[in-house]
Amino acid sequence: YCTFGNTHPFRIRIVNRLNDVYDYFYVKKADSSRIYGLELEEILSPNQVNYLVDEDTMIEEHIVGLPGDVFNKGKIHQDDYNPTRIAKEFVKFNERCLVTLLGDMRSYNFVVQITPDFDDIQFRIRAIDFDQQFYEGNIKVYMPQFFKENFQLVKLCMEHLTEKTVQQYKQEELSSIVHRVRSERHRLTDLRDVSSKEELTTRENILKLKRSMAEYYKDNAYKECQNMTDIIELNLKNIIRQVKL
């Protein structure tokens, strides 16, 4: 199905013979980045993900939504869409990616879920590819705002949000993450203990990223991190200290 990417996934359709309703699933080669990415998405995002792993094979449930590149090209400026709501969601998505070190969120690696409400239309951006979970050493890889494929969303933020509202939406997302950390702290601890023992990226990438994180957050504690798991753990600890619920 797809020659793009390091897992060469293909899509299957399972049809209910009673009523011809069908569902899509993706069969991929399992790798640690993808598994940890799905786990962190389940724990720290507002989204639920379903997947199965058997030895070196992974099956992911299809995530419903409009592909980000399609949305950016033909749907983003529809008259009945509130651009501020779209911009707000992108700010939150951007912040969550940096906290969880989910990389390479170009427009074709996420979908936009559009839900009509009683007085407006709601939007949610959801990642659909997790093969670049805490691997790269370049901090910008974990910030969707820097990908040219996402320029239309960045432009929307610049046109409809002020610096004050951007900070407000970031704070909202961080507050939500704190709630999730507290409710799933035992699961996060187990995930940390397992992932910290694995070689998830190169030593060069770890050194490069922890220096960049220290500079970005103005916190030299990042320089003491030994692996990608330590960086995420420090991200979460800092959020818990900073956010006032």
DSSP 8-state code for residue 225: -
Q: Which of 125, 106, 130, 108 is nearest to 35 (CA)?
A: 130
pLDDT tens sequence across 97-154: 999 999 999 999 999 999 998 888 999 999 998 888 888 999 999 999 999 999 999 9
Q: Which of 87, 90, 89, 81 is nearest to 117 (CA)?
A: 81
pLDDT tens sequence across 6-37: 556 788 999 999 999 999 999 988 888 889 99
In this prediction, residue 244 carries a pLDDT of 66
Q: Which residue has the tokens 């992911």?
A: 60
Strand 121-127 to strand 51-54: parallel, antiparallel, or no bridges (unpaired)?
unpaired
In this prediction, residue 31 carries a pLDDT of 84
User: 133: left (phi > 0), else alpha (psi -120 to 50), else beta?
Assistant: beta
Residue 4 has pLDDT above 70, yes or no: no
pLDDT tens sequence across 164-213: 999 999 999 999 999 999 999 999 999 999 988 888 889 999 999 999 99
Domain ranges of the chain: 10-61, 66-242
